[in-house]
Amino acid sequence: MPDTSPRHIRLTSHAGGYGALPIRWGAPTAAERGPIVGTTSKPSHRNVIGTHSGSYSVYRALAVAAGALSREHKPDLTNTSPTDFIGPYPQWTDPARIVSLDPWGARVAEVFAGEIAAGYDIRPTIAVTKAHVILPEVIDALQKGRLKADGTVLTPGGAAMVTKAAIEPVWWLPGVAQRFGCSEADLRRVLFEETGGMYPELVTRSDLEVFLPPIGGLTVYIFGNPQDLANPQVELTARVHDECNGSDVFGSDICTCRPYLTHAIEECIAGAQRGGVGLVAYSRKEGRALGEVTKFLVYNARKRQAGGDTADQYFARTECVAGVQDMRFQELMPDVLHWLGVKKIHRLVSMSNMKYDAITQSGIEVGERVNIPDELIPADAKVEMEAKVAAGYFTPGHVPDTDELKQVKGRGLE
Amino acid sequence: MPDTSPRHIRLTSHAGGYGALPIRWGAPTAAERGPIVGTTSKPSHRNVIGTHSGSYSVYRALAVAAGALSREHKPDLTNTSPTDFIGPYPQWTDPARIVSLDPWGARVAEVFAGEIAAGYDIRPTIAVTKAHVILPEVIDALQKGRLKADGTVLTPGGAAMVTKAAIEPVWWLPGVAQRFGCSEADLRRVLFEETGGMYPELVTRSDLEVFLPPIGGLTVYIFGNPQDLANPQVELTARVHDECNGSDVFGSDICTCRPYLTHAIEECIAGAQRGGVGLVAYSRKEGRALGEVTKFLVYNARKRQAGGDTADQYFARTECVAGVQDMRFQELMPDVLHWLGVKKIHRLVSMSNMKYDAITQSGIEVGERVNIPDELIPADAKVEMEAKVAAGYFTPGHVPDTDELKQVKGRGLE
């Protein structure tokens, strides 16, 4: 007799009158896949490790501790459903294609209405809304004539019309392990040990295959019709951007993060206006996912080293402090593109070879790569840019050699 | 015989040749306080629950799982020390004054040099560096003559000179419990249960009083001389700002977050130029620490409710979805001000009564409160602003009554 459910175990605890529902990752329909249940009020219903809201679960716990929030509170989802239809796409039911988010996460109130009515606390892990975004750099582009208002994609006042989605991480551990080339058992053990013992269930509950990690998620901004993202005939301009608070918000001149982001938004608006669609995916991976403390330590080490802040030592200084050059692991990044149904990116506004490789290796075609215009690179950011170009970043221009890298030098700490 | 160490237990495990060092929170010197040791490579050295880098500890674990990072790596701290002296201040050694960060966190290489030489893996939880920040709104203020370049605080090109510090959370649980008015035992149990079982040591290891939670930290930007922050004779302009990615980075017009932030930066620059000092503290508490998914769900519920997005229903919609109006808990926020030695804020660039109350109740004097100028409030953000003013936000103007709140209406989803 074949084992029809080799991995998943129907839990039999019935403290709440019924037990946990199974998750069959990648199953052909939402009903067969089953809901993600991370509730803390009915432990017998849980079918995941961890809980909702990423890191903010800690604040939720504080709210309960402070007596401000009832632990029994269930969200009232009235009127919260997505403003736009996204999917389902064939990519949603391919267990290898999406492993770090729940493709049904925006539609739980609809696709798991029966389970919610039966008393399960099922929460959206994705929310889709509409917004008007007003960036000074876009207003500048309007004033200088690089962009024109059309009243649809861009207003005369400089507001761009977007659909946006916030996405929390939902990790299917067997698939995540496969992406990183390790066994699921090793991934679970290392996640437990190297966080100082977070979630022992990672090692004790191999029947629970889904983990809601306490990390930041991502946000997508869509310029134009979201359904066009899945149509390879419609020109797609896209940037996948990793958070850099110091530049994205405060405009630090040591890197190109905000200038490249706002350039991408300008390209997305222009692309949508000529009948295409634009996409910015923004991931909470501050300082290459090393965190901002490490990032600032590296800044000091770069600017104080013998010979000054030169491009040839750029990666070495990060590695001395952090042990690696980068912890962003673009391996999981393409999941959001598959959630949106993307098959082809006509214009990828990124020079990163790591992002390019991850996207193309996941089966998405990439056409043109759009570099940041030279005039948008702050003087002090040339160190980073030249070091990256020498290390394999896409450039339509010259790739510096070792001697040239030594000559590219940033400001000291003064 | 008096018990000289009623709370702290000298751990006796010696797997690494020596054991964990005690932490005596609020002790008069760094040596007596003892270092925070969150290493994962020598478990016998650990004297905390959790590990470094907040949420990014999960990425660090991924790096080990992927074979990219040696679990034995210790950071090379050469040249990473703070660019500016901050403290020690009397507030550092008052265990009630600072409970959510390590005041010695920037100076571990100096104050715990002996322990590091003896083989303990002690990592900075704070990093202090210098930066030039260039914001389009500041350039606009220069061009319109509201700000003038002086070459010291602000260059003619619009770059503001700052000292900035990144700060990771370090929670002393007895003090955190006190802030929230609950017992330490309750705090520990709820933190464990309401995160779905994160860190059982919260409940099993009452001897470990310090927790490094996997949440985002904060960043401070200082305009002028950092040491002036501790001098109540020097005019201090300050804003404590909570992250709002949708506005801070993307300029969404539904709230006033970025306009208020950039107005505060303008005020900080002007204040530093007239001989004062400016401070922006930026906390990673997206969407009132509810996270962005909840925030977007609330946006949809607001804009779709019967009668439209009116100010009188503003807080109700958040509470329906999240169970509370706000999870930011400003109770911990003043810690960073005490770390910087602040005794008086002459100009607080915030209208929040919750922030004001938390700051003044922590013993810091507040002079003037600076509201956001009306012309900086986007049209669609008037719903939020009027709802907050009616609920107690500071305003030099009119406080709307219930009938008036019903008339303040935002855009629909169209």
Nearest to A131 among B177, B182, B252 (CB): B252
Q: Is B409 helix (H, G, I), strand (E, B) or coil?
A: strand
Q: Which residues contact A286 (CB under 8 A, 6 or more apart)?
A: A242, A243, A244, A245, A292, A295, B56
Q: How many angstroms away from the CA of A296 is the closest CA of chain B?
A: 6
Q: What is the pLDDT of residues B208-222, one digit of tens each?
A: 999 999 999 999 999
Question: What pLDDT is attached to residue A89?
Answer: 98
Residue B344 and residue B367: Cα distance in Å, rounded? Answer: 8
Nearest to A127 among B127, B164, B293 (CB): B293
Which run of H or E residues covers position A220? strand A218-223
Residue B288 and residue B401: Cα distance in Å, rounded? Answer: 24
DSSP 8-state code for residue B372: P
Residue B56 and residue B61: Cα distance in Å, rounded? Answer: 9
Residue of A42, A49, A52, A62 to mutate for B, most B C-beta atoms under 10 A: A62
A328 in active site: yes
Residue B41 and residue B52: Cα distance in Å, rounded? Answer: 12
Q: Which residues contact B45 (CB under 8 A, 6 or more apart)?
A: B16, B18, B19, B20, B21, B37, B39, B120, B121
Distance between first and last Cα of chain A: 75
Find the residue in A nearest to B183 (Cα): A65
Question: What pLDDT is attached to residue A16?
Answer: 42
pLDDT band, very low/low/confident/very high, at A18 (cuts 50, 70, 90): low
Q: Is A236 helix (H, G, I), strand (E, B) or coil?
A: strand
Q: How many angstroms away from the CA of B151 is the closest CA of chain A?
A: 14
Q: What is the pLDDT of residues B308-327, one digit of tens each?
A: 999 999 999 999 999 999 99
ipTM above 0.85, yes or no: yes
- What mean pLDDT value characterizes chain B? 94
Q: Do B65 and A182 touch (CB under 8 A)?
A: yes
Residue A3: pLDDT over 50: no
Q: Which of A240, A244, A247, A249 is nearest to A282 (CA)?
A: A240
Q: Do B300 and A245 touch (CB under 8 A)?
A: no
Question: What pLDDT is attached to residue B414?
Answer: 75
Using only C-alpha atoms, chain B has a radius of gyration, in whole angstroms, of 23
Find the residue in B nearest to A192 (Cα): B61
Residue B56 and residue B53: Cα distance in Å, rounded? Answer: 5
Find the residue in B nearest to A281 (Cα): B250
The 10 Å Cβ neighbour count of residue A345 is 27
Q: Is A81 helix (H, G, I), strand (E, B) or coil?
A: coil
Residue A374 and residue A382: Cα distance in Å, rounded? Answer: 10
Q: How far is CA A158 from CA A52, A59, A133, B96, in A?
A: 36, 36, 8, 48
The number of C-alpha atoms within 13 Å of A315 and in the hemisphere containing its C-beta is: 14
Q: Do A196 and B51 touch (CB under 8 A)?
A: yes
Chain B residues touching residue A282 (CB < 8 angstroms) = 245, 249
Of A33, A123, A188, A328, which is the active-site residue?
A: A328
pLDDT band, very low/low/confident/very high, at B116 (cuts 50, 70, 90): very high
Q: How many angstroms away from the CA of A74 is the closest CA of chain B?
A: 8
List the structure tokens of A204.
């004790």
User: A168, A175 in Cβ contact below 8 A?
Assistant: no
User: B171, B210 in Cβ contact below 8 A?
Assistant: yes
Find the residue in B nearest to A378 (Cα): B134
Q: Do B56 and A290 touch (CB under 8 A)?
A: yes
Nearest to A194 among B64, B180, B378 (CB): B64
Which run of H or E residues covers position B319? helix B314-322
pLDDT band, very low/low/confident/very high, at A414 (cuts 50, 70, 90): confident
User: B167, B101 in Cβ contact below 8 A?
Assistant: yes
Q: Which residues contact B90 (CB under 8 A, 6 or more apart)?
A: none
Residue B2: pLDDT over 70: no
Give φ, ψ of B406 to 5 degrees. Answer: -65, -25
Q: Is the dihedral of CA A104, A106, A107, A112 positive or negative?
A: positive
Average pLDDT over residues A256-264: 98
Q: Do B63 and A327 touch (CB under 8 A)?
A: yes
Q: How many angstroms away from the CA of A63 is the closest CA of chain B?
A: 6
Find the residue in A nearest to B45 (Cα): A196
Residue A336 and residue A126: Cα distance in Å, rounded? Answer: 11
Average pLDDT over residues A337-356: 98
List the structure tokens of A390.
């020498």
Question: What pLDDT is attached to residue B14?
Answer: 40
Q: Do A297 and B75 touch (CB under 8 A)?
A: yes
Residue A8: pLDDT over 50: no
Average pLDDT over residues B16-43: 91
DSSP 8-state code for residue B62: H
Chain B residues touching residue A308 (CB < 8 angstroms) = none
Residue B265: pLDDT over 90: yes
Q: What is the pLDDT of residues B152-164, one digit of tens each?
A: 999 999 999 999 9
The 10 Å Cβ neighbour count of residue A57 is 24
The vertex-A274 CA angle with A270 and A278, nearest 5°, equals: 55
Residue A219 and residue A166: Cα distance in Å, rounded? Answer: 4
% chain B with pLDDT above 90? 94
Q: Do B214 and A216 touch (CB under 8 A)?
A: no
Single-letter code of the amino acid located at A62: L
Chain A residues touching residue B59 (CB < 8 angstroms) = 215, 285, 289-290, 327-329
% chain A with pLDDT above 70? 96
Chain B residues touching residue A381 (CB < 8 angstroms) = none
Single-letter code of the amino acid located at B104: W
Which run of H or E residues covers position B128? strand B126-134
Find the residue in A nearest to B321 (Cα): A75
List the structure tokens of B393.
């936000």
Q: What is the DSSP string of A308-377?
A: -SBGGGHHHHHHHHHSSS----GGGTTHHHHHTT--EEEEE----HHHHHHHHHTT-EEEEE-PPPGGGS
User: B168, B36 in Cβ contact below 8 A?
Assistant: no
Most confident range, picked from A64-73, A243-252, B317-326: A243-252
Q: Do B248 and A253 touch (CB under 8 A)?
A: no
User: A198, A192 in Cβ contact below 8 A?
Assistant: yes
- What mean pLDDT value characterizes chain A? 94
The more confident residue out of A413 and A277 is: A277
Nearest to A58 among B66, B214, B251 (CB): B214
Question: What pLDDT is attached to residue A192?
Answer: 97
Size of interface A-B (CB pairs under 8 A): 388
Nearest to A125 among B191, B251, B293 (CB): B293
Chain A residues touching residue B69 (CB < 8 angstroms) = 323-324, 327
The more confident residue out of A3 and A334 is: A334
Which run of H or E residues covers position B283? strand B277-283
Q: Which of B281, B295, B280 is nearest to B244 (CA)?
A: B295
Its pTM stands at 0.95
Residue A215 and residue A285: Cα distance in Å, rounded? Answer: 9
Residue A9: pLDDT over 80: no
Q: What is the pLDDT of residues B239-256, one digit of tens each?
A: 999 999 999 999 999 999
Q: Is the dihedral of CA A149, A151, A157, A163 positive or negative?
A: negative
Single-letter code of the amino acid located at B252: S
Q: Which residues contact A213 (CB under 8 A, 6 or more apart)?
A: A50, A54, A169, A171, B58
Q: What is the pLDDT of residues A102-120, one digit of tens each?
A: 999 999 999 999 999 999 9
Q: How many angstroms away from the CA of B258 is the closest CA of chain A?
A: 8
Question: What pLDDT is attached to residue A17?
Answer: 47
Q: What is the pLDDT of residues B338-392, one digit of tens each?
A: 999 999 999 999 999 999 999 999 999 999 999 999 999 999 999 999 999 999 9
A312 in active site: no
